[in-house]
Amino acid sequence: MTPTAMWKQCLDRVTVSDALRFALPTPWIVQAVQEGTLPQTMTLEMLKRRTIPPDLEGQRRRIEGLRKIVTDVITHYEPHRAGLSKLIIATPLILWVSAVLIEVKTPEMSESVQSGALLAWRKQVGDAVLRDETLVEMETDKVILEVAAPSDGLLVEIRVQVGGEVRVGDVLALIDTSASADVPKAATAVPPEKPAVLPPSARRELSRRTAETVPASVVTAPDRFPPAQETSRVRRVPMSRLRSRIALRLKEAQNTAAMLTTINEINMQPVMDLRARNQERFLQEHGVKLGYMSFFTKAVCLALKAYPTVNASVEGQDIVFHDFYDVGIAVSSERGLVVPILRNADCLSFVGVEKQIADFGRRAGNLELTLEELEGGTFTISNGGVFGSLLSTPILNPPQSGVLGLHKIQDRPVAENGSVVIRPMMYVALTYDHRIIDGREAVSFLKAVKDVLEDPARLLLAS
């Protein structure tokens, strides 16, 4: 067998890993593998006939020099073991350098989020990918990010497996862009019939429901059940990054802030009457329903302007006052509670508030909220009433100093002008940081919210 025949035979059989294991590798190729720039699992067939962009003249000259080395090996070495070893070394080296490999890196997230964990790979090694096509899902403390392909090509190596921890800038995978000519064909080819695959959000929901633990109180099993059957009723699953972050922040709030809660009740009849009169026209003109949250948001902004300490936060020995009103709206999602922010809520109209909240709810369910939408905030509104809660004491969202808890509207007897009447009443609770907010300010703030909602015409007269 001639060296040329051996070279051709090696193309579809030998991998870079084989070259390192059976040959006498040069220091240069060993360094490339150690640095991770040369995928060991690639076959020589995958690496052959690569094209080089015309602007990479330095790389082109380097490739031409290495091609001369391969030519010399094929020309001068006889078909014996030493020649084959040198041939195996030279071939992947030249073919690898001829390839144009692009790194897929962990994207920049935010100052408060610098790491995450990989949830699932959408593509596997050898799959064709298109530019901006999602390659991998990554879970952070706040959201699930989808990392897209930076270019068309072939996914030739996955560096981090599912569950692995990554930081900003880490290399997740390598894409061979010189194989991009084959991508459209691969992308449009009709795949063989496969079982239906659930979308990522549905898969996560199914996994979450499957992993739910049994109640803490376990009834003793009858004697007819074997003892081993009891252990199968208990599951142990790791917390998601979001759940771990929620637990950490809530405990931080308990350990740091001097939390105290004041409670009042609001007669919701005026707001309900106003909504009933204008709901149909509001929906027709704006495509969104007139809810209660827009009334509460506007009332809260008025009260925050009157009592700015409730809108402040503590940093060390300083009180930081905010002359803007970014109100967080607590939204429940399948991954846990998230709090997207209504920026400059005092400047928004009722329509603007309702549209943004509806959009937050939709995208929270689809795990589409961005990090920028979840960061910041000077005050939070949490509506446990949608789940039927009659009364609760909400917990602060650090570093904020106030959170307003809304609850279920319930018909209750109340005294009005010496008579007992039935009114739709709601308990509202303000939890505040007693380190900087006195009881007088907290009670006055909540009373201001109550007064505005029981006379919503004040919202029209407010500056």
Nearest to 109 by CA among 171, 167, 172: 167
Largest Cα–Cα separation, the chain: 113
Quote the CA–CA distance of 63 and 58 in Å, as a whole number. Answer: 9
Catalytic pick from 273, 438, 451, 455? 438
CB within 8 Å of 188: residues ≥ 6 apart: none
- Tokens at 363, concatenated: 């995208």
Quote the CA–CA distance of 462 and 305 in Å, as a whole number. Answer: 11
Catalytic pick from 18, 170, 322, 434? 434
Q: Is 438 a catalytic residue?
A: yes
Q: What angle do helix axes 350-365 and 269-286 make, rounded to 10 degrees? A: 80
| Cα angle, residue 157 at apex, residues 161 and 16 outer, rounded to 5° | 125
Mark 396-409 as b/e (b = at least 16 C-beta within 10 Å): bbbbbbbbbbbbbb
- Tokens at 233, concatenated: 């009723």
Q: Is 407 a catalytic residue?
A: no
Quote the CA–CA distance of 43 and 41 in Å, as a whole number. Answer: 6
Positions marked active-site? 434, 438
